[in-house]
Structure 1
């Protein structure tokens, strides 16, 4: 497991929702991001901290 991800509490990941859509997030271990399929955004995880700002999210292209 990526060390940066191991610092994120799994219980915290269960509680987090997309700030834009309020939908569920899934963890993408390859990109180290939390993904909101409904909003088509990927939120970065930096140093084990999810950055839950829409302005910091990457748009997911089709």
Structure 2
């Protein structure tokens, strides 16, 4: 499962930036490459917060 996710997330950002038609495209590529990371961090934080809240209720 992990290898499938890594395979899907492999994007050659450097090549896309070199072949970018203008600066706005470069910014879009960079933002698009960070979005999956930001989403995963958000999910991890939500799960952590939920587990912490559940642990405090059980005490």
Q: What is the TM-score normalised by the length of structure 1?
A: 0.20
Quick check: which one's strand share is greater? 1
Quick check: which one's helix share is greater? 2
The answer to which structure, 1 or 2, has the higher relative contact order (CA under 8 A, 6+ apart) is: 1
Q: What is the TM-score normalised by the length of structure 2?
A: 0.20
